[in-house]
Copies of this chain bind each other. A is one copy, B any other.
């Protein structure tokens, strides 16, 4: 549904993003006009105008009323209003959220080999993704000794010391005295 809005919006914008068609719409705001009139007004050939009007009509931006052998085209203001409604940040956000964590999945694919961390990413952001994956190996309500933490990490990567420090530094885990625990999750909105 939102992705329908999305491609709908793209199509509208593609049709509107043309100098000739905007000028046509501009003329049609004040009066209906025939193909020949528009051709003269824009200094373009009738087939070109016909082409533009077809594209505008496919999206309902103009309507056609035959009058004898002449076709009078009129502007449909409603359709333009619908475009304006879609062209807002909130709507764009909705449309984009069809997916969002493709990047995280890619990082996991790149740096994991099954349950093994192939390499600790140098980039902070990528490291954060791996650490988020790693912290899932710990229970939320359990309290661990440092040796337990190291043991669990070592199932996935030899450098337990570095990773343990990173988990604390990124606040994914917390420590008091010699006791470690996983930081309770905060809810997503």
Contacts and interface: CB of A to CB of B under 8 A. Distances in A.
Contacts of A186: none
A112 interface: no
Contacts of A102: 40-43
Interface string A72-104: 000101001001100111101111110110110
Given A13-B17, A30-B93, 7 more contacts: A13-B16, A26-B93, A29-B92, A30-B97, A40-B106, A84-B87, A84-B88
Copies of this polypeptide in the complex:
2
B19 A16 contact: no
Contacts of A97: 26, 30
Interface string A15-44: 011110011011101100010110111110
Contacts of A13: 13, 16-17, 22
A147 to B, nearest CB: 34
Given A22-B10, A87-B87, A96 B17 contact: no
